[in-house]
Amino acid sequence: MESFLGFLKEWEDDVNTTEGLTKDEKKRMCLSSQTVDGLRLTVKSFVELTKELLEHDKVEYILSEKFSQDPLEEYFSKQRSAGGTNDNPTVEEFKNNFLSLHVAGDCVSAARRGNCSN
């Protein structure tokens, strides 16, 4: 964790201390702040969760590939499809879509152009 997060910090520091670059050039040479924040959160969460899981007697190893948010992405893809052209459903519309999806179960498929796989 320290190595990877240290690498990100060093990268950002190196770019920001490089002379002769405009602010826009420096920005393009680094990852976006949202991406860096997401990476930090993901790395810290993964390390802490792994430590906690490995404390259990029956857990011998962790398969990182099994950590996935694809089911969540798939669910929200179904929610967007249920809303038709409405990208910003109200709480009431979301609730109705939730009920419809719950009743339909696996009969509803996610969008074909989504960013997750089964």
Position with higher pLDDT, 35 vs 82: 35
Give the whole-number percent of the chain exceeding pLDDT 70: 86
The listed range with the strongest mean pLDDT (8-12, 96-100, 113-117) is 8-12
Res. 29 pLDDT band, cuts 50 70 90: very high
Distance set, CA 43 to CA 7, 17, 49 (Å): 13, 26, 10
pLDDT tens digits, 6-18 = 999 999 999 999 9
Cβ burial, residue 75 (10 Å; 0-12/13-18/19+):
middle
Q: Where are the domains of the chain?
A: 2-65, 70-107
- Which residues are within 8 A (CB) of 12 and not within 5 positions of it... i.e. 6 or more apart? 30, 36
Place of tokens 């899981």: 53
